[in-house]
Structure 1
Amino acid sequence: MPPLKQLCLALQFGRFDGAAAHRAALPRHRVARWIRHALAADAEITVRIVGAEEGRQLNGGYRGRDYATNVLTFDYGRAPRVTADLVLCAPIVESEARAQGKRLDAHYAHMLVHGTLHAQGWDHEGSAADADAMEARETQIMQQLGFAAPYA
């Protein structure tokens, strides 16, 4: 495996009920490790963990969808450095983890890898081939990190 890329990481937590449990599941060193495994270039990334209301407002304001989603990626640049914001909605990530029978940290790792790939131009909405390629890459990264395949 090639050496991991450099990452300048800002990790933020919004104010929402249950934030302490999410903060405990996301120590900075683990978040950095998960993101670095998905990077093909050095990066400056801000990760913000938000509650349902902030997630809904952001998804509505930027995507025109009036609901909270698991991860939003704001891609500002890809070369020479990946520059992006990743916004993860804690209640959605927690609900999905529970529904899929996954540990909370495993689903956060997957959503961070997913968002980081989006920040580098990966897409799963353009075509079935794009979706298959992105899912395969996510699976490879998650297994390198010691997690089960996310789509199994």
Structure 2
Amino acid sequence: MQHVVEVSLAEQLEGTLPPDLDLDLVEQAILAVLAAEAQALEVGVLITDDAHIHTLNRDYRGVDAPTDVLSFADDGPPASFVVAGDGPRYLGDIAISYQRVLAQAAEYGHSPARELVYLAVHGTLHLLGYDHERGPEDAATMRLREEAIMAELGLLRGA
């Protein structure tokens, strides 16, 4: 089963990221989340800045403020044309603010790489239907999945 993850960097961030930041780790994190799914899935990821994610948050959620991560699930009807049966199903896109990554990593006392991976895991779980905002039970369920994936990646605490 093949999962497809495309990680891209917003043009305005090119050349500003530290050279030791491993964007492949973002891909690995999302693949770890998708591994439990029964079908091949495709996810797109955009690492961007606060200004861009602010615009997305305002335009799509009606929240006029930057945020750390947004998930855009492909919840539209299936296409009317024939799709290859062995190709991955498009699950959706994730946008992550790298400025929020840096601020939250400093606030929580761990590395930017760990925070970036956590936000990628969090966003992917949202694409799969997890939602911490529905209530305490849903939040606890989502947190357990996040912690399991982070532990699998060796990034549960203090990385």
Q: Which residue of 2 aligns with 1:108?
A: 116
Secondary structure, aligned partner of 1:125: helix
Question: In the alignment, is the contact (CA less than 8 A) between 2:101 and 2:112 conserved in 1?
Answer: yes
Q: Which residue of 1 aligns with 2:148?
A: 140
TM-score by length of 1: 0.85
Deviations 1:32-59 (A, max 9, x none): 2110111133211111011111111000
Alignment of 1:72 with 2:67, yes or no, is: no
Q: Give the Cα separation in 1 of the matches to 2:124 and 2:74.
A: 12
| Bigger RCO of structures 1 and 2 (CA < 8 A, at least 6 apart) | 2
Q: How many residues align?
A: 145
Q: Which residue of 2 aligns with 1:84?
A: 92
Q: Which residue of 1 aligns with 2:60?
A: 62
Q: Which residue of 2 aligns with 1:25?
A: 21
Q: CA separation of 1:112/1:27 partners in 2, compared to 1, >3 Å: closer, same or farther?
A: same
Question: In the alignment, is the contact (CA less than 8 A) between 2:7 and 2:23 conserved in 1?
Answer: no
2:50 corresponds, among 49, 52, 55, to 52
Q: CA separation of 1:22/1:105 partners in 2, compared to 1, >3 Å: closer, same or farther?
A: same
Q: Give the Cα separation in 2 of the matches to 1:57 and 1:32.
A: 25
Question: In the alignment, is the contact (CA less than 8 A) between 2:4 and 2:43 conserved in 1?
Answer: yes
Q: Give the Cα separation in 2 of the matches to 1:14 and 1:52.
A: 11
Q: CA separation of 1:98/1:17 partners in 2, compared to 1, >3 Å: closer, same or farther?
A: same
TM-score by length of 2: 0.81
What letter corresponds to residue 36 of structure 1 in structure 2?
Answer: L
The sequence identity of aligned pairs, in percent, is 30
Structure 2: state its 5+ residue gaps. Answer: 79-87
Question: In the alignment, is the contact (CA less than 8 A) between 1:15 and 1:51 conserved in 2?
Answer: no
What is the root-mean-square deviation in Å for CA atoms of aligned residues?
2.3
Q: Which residue of 2 aligns with 1:10?
A: 6
What letter corresponds to residue 115 of structure 2 in structure 1?
Answer: H
Question: In the alignment, is the contact (CA less than 8 A) between 2:10 and 2:46 conserved in 1?
Answer: yes
